[in-house]
Amino acid sequence: MKQFFKFVLASVVGFFVAGLVLLVLIVGLISALVASGGKDKAVDVNDNSILNVSFKADIPERTPNNPLSGFGFLGFNDSKSVGLNDILAGIKKAKTDDHIKALFLNDSYMLSGEATTEEIRNALIDFKKSGKPIIAYSEIYTQSFYYLASVANKVYINPKGIFEFRGFSQQITFFKGALDKLGIEAQVIKVGTYKSAVEPFILDKMSDANRLQVNAYLGSLYNHFLTGIGSSRKINRDSLASMVDQLKIQYPEDALKYKLVDGVKYKDEVLDELKKLTGTNLKKAVKSVDLDDYARNSSKDDRDDDDDDSKKQIAIIYASGEINSGEGDDNSIGSDRISAALRKARLNDDVKAVVFRVNSPGGSSLASDVIWREVSLTKKVKPIIVSMGDYAASGGYYISCAADSIFAQPNTITGSIGIFAILPNMQGFLHNKLGLNFDGVKTGKYADLGDVSRPLTPEERAILQAEVNRGYDEFTKAVANGRHKTQAYINSIGQGRVWTGEQAIKIGLVDRLGNINDAITSAAKKANLKDYDLVAYPQQKNFLKNLNSGLMSEVKTKMVKSELGENYEYYQQLKSIQKMIRVPQARLPFMVDIK
């Protein structure tokens, strides 16, 4: 027994020492990386190199300030997350870089939204103007990746590969049946015939109005998809539609037969073609540089607001994610943080114009109004141009509408001008399922307004409806003033209806179709600037301050994703319900997930 305790004690001490050493190494690594600014060193690019481009992760608006990106053994995401800003800058630089001879679109999933894909696709089209070829290869072509890859000079697919070409679909999950079984009633107060975010809680299928709007915007997105592919591949749009309707593309050889690809090849054959293209000995590896590394050193607008001393600046203010009160972070819009960024840019005499990059499905109507106020004040003293990303809908449109002008992509999701609120009545669940009863006293008739243990009275519902009506009136008035339209007209195209950027320009919600660079050019012209620097607002979160919370959050997300698999999206939808309760919302009917 004595010997046993010796071994146990030795093991404990050993584990403790090993853990301490590992901790010291990790802290040292973190300190070194943070001290270096978290920036990668400049990448040396050999002559006759290929720019290797692969998209297998979400694409944020800005490259995250995470010096531990790629260190999967520490519990962090082991993929290098590169922002759209650096991706576009990298492709633009490669266009004129004499060391880069071609671009290789390599096995991608394109988990990004439609407008983000459009931005990258347009950058690739511009790259081709250099005369340098783009070669695309994949084992699996999702529709989104094929839309991107269709601009390539040569498109190849693995002989056993998968080619998806079956049209667009969107499915909505309805929770009413589950709520009924639990004895929970979703008490909904809304304004807007098309404000369908509440439908999953009160219906078991799409309303006629929602089906009408989904058909309209999905049809617009699909038409743009086919038209873009048709233009790149020189195939009639109607012919492409026929291929989809008849499911003519089931195997790689079908894609070749109908000229959607240029060849059916294994990857080694494609790599040999790249070697010949760059004059590389077939026995040697092709010279290449990953966009992940190349792009990080190419961005012209990655300086935070305190890093530039230029007297002529255009500020790019990034607002990405759901809108809520508070601070927020780089992936969510906090009204305090974004308002502060707008104020800082407005009061900085060196900033001559502002580009407000909005990528948001909306959120809290109150938080949206707080940000709208700062946009309105900024417009009075200097030009402010909105550039819409994948989404700028509901609250996302609210914070955009006061700008001087609005740019969107044809496949941006916008509009959804409407307000709603949800208050659960859990009396049936609490009493019938849990056996709970409630009783108490109150000093005012409405002291317990919003109590989930009982249903709303008709008077209480009327009070909440008046609050939502007032929010909608203020929303439509803000849009009418910003867009120089009558409030009656905005009401006619509002009602919560969702539009694509292509549709929105026709009804006056958007001024021009274009990308973020077009918005920057417009801002410079409006401010009479020829030479200027770009500065990014708000300053990205300090890595060390967010290390613990960020690590725990990412580990938790990984565990949940691993456990739920494809069902993770339902978990996300259920989590979003918490944010909708009681607080009036200006948001999309969940996210528009096109399959």
**Chain segment 239-258, per-residue pLDDT in tens:** 999 999 999 999 999 999 99
The answer to whether the bond into 410 is cis (omega within 30° of 0) is no
Q: Are 403 and 385 in contact (CB under 8 A)?
A: yes
Place of tokens 């317990």: 448
pLDDT at position 594, please?
64
> For the chain, what percent of residues have pLDDT higher than 70?
80
Q: Which of 152, 407, 181 is nearest to 277 (CA)?
A: 152
Which member of 299, 368, 394, 400 is catalytic? 394
Give catalytic status of residue 195 as yes or no: yes
Q: 190-219 as b/e, with b when 16 or more CB fall inside 10 Å?
A: bbbbbbbbbbbbbeeebeebbeebbebbbe
- For residues 70 and 296, give the distance between their C-alpha atoms in angstroms, rounded to a whole number: 14
pLDDT at position 453, please?
93
pLDDT for residue 33 is more than 50 = no
H/E element holding 320?
strand 313-320
Q: Which of 385, 343, 346, 393 is nearest to 368 (CA)?
A: 393
The residue-averaged pLDDT of 556-564 equals 58
pLDDT for residue 354 is more than 80 = yes
Q: Are 362 and 578 in contact (CB under 8 A)?
A: no
pTM for the whole structure: 0.87
Least confident window among 263-267, 363-367, 495-499, 582-586: 582-586
Q: Are 300 and 531 in contact (CB under 8 A)?
A: no
Q: 22-45 as b/e, with b when 16 or more CB fall inside 10 Å?
A: eeeeeeeebeebbeeebebeeeeb
Where are the alpha helices (H) located in 399-515, listed in sequence order? Answer: 427-428, 458-483, 487-493, 501-507
Q: Are 466 and 388 in contact (CB under 8 A)?
A: no
- Residue 552 DSSP label: H
Strands 405-408 vs 419-425: parallel, antiparallel or unpaired: unpaired
> For the chain, what percent of residues have pLDDT higher than 90?
71
The residue-averaged pLDDT of 189-217 equals 92
Q: Which is more confidently placed, 94 or 21?
A: 94
The residue-averaged pLDDT of 199-226 equals 95
The residue-averaged pLDDT of 7-13 equals 50
Which member of 92, 132, 195, 287 is catalytic? 195
- Which range of 2-16, 35-49, 493-507, 530-544 scores highest in mean pLDDT? It is 493-507
- The values of phi and psi at residue 235, to 5°, are -125, 135
Structure tokens at 484: 């120089």
Render pLDDT for 137-174 as a digit per residue (tens, 0 to 9).
999 999 999 999 999 999 999 999 999 999 999 988 89
pLDDT for residue 38 is more than 50 = no
Give catalytic status of residue 394 as yes or no: yes
pLDDT at position 330, please?
85
- For residues 109 and 98, give the distance between their C-alpha atoms in angstroms, rounded to a whole number: 29
Strands 323-324 vs 332-334: parallel, antiparallel or unpaired: parallel
The residue-averaged pLDDT of 20-36 equals 49
- For residues 419 and 216, give the distance between their C-alpha atoms in angstroms, rounded to a whole number: 21
Neighbours of 531 (CB within 10 A): 7
- Which range of 39-43, 190-194, 556-560 scores highest in mean pLDDT? It is 190-194
Q: Are 386 and 400 in contact (CB under 8 A)?
A: yes
pLDDT for residue 106 is more than 60 = yes
pLDDT at position 315, please?
98
Strands 512-513 vs 154-163: parallel, antiparallel or unpaired: unpaired
pLDDT at position 124, please?
98
pLDDT at position 311, please?
83
Q: How confident is the model at residue 585 (pLDDT cuts 50, 70, 90)?
A: confident
Structure tokens at 498: 């969702």
SS3 412: coil
Place of tokens 């290789």: 104
SS3 8: helix
pLDDT for residue 261 is more than 70 = yes
Q: Are 105 and 123 in contact (CB under 8 A)?
A: no
The residue-averaged pLDDT of 406-414 equals 97
Judged by phi (left if over 0) then psi (alpha if -120 to 50, else beta), residue 234 lies in: left
pLDDT for residue 349 is more than 60 = yes
pLDDT at position 14, please?
52
Render pLDDT for 415-442 as a digit per residue (tens, 0 to 9).
999 999 899 999 999 999 999 999 999 9
**Degrees, nearest 5: CA angle 111-117-118:** 160
Strands 419-425 vs 185-191: parallel, antiparallel or unpaired: antiparallel
How much is the CA Rg of the chain, to the nearest whole Å? 27
Neighbours of 533 (CB within 10 A): 18
Render pLDDT for 57-76 as a digit per residue (tens, 0 to 9).
889 999 887 655 555 444 44
- For residues 111 and 360, give the distance between their C-alpha atoms in angstroms, rounded to a whole number: 16
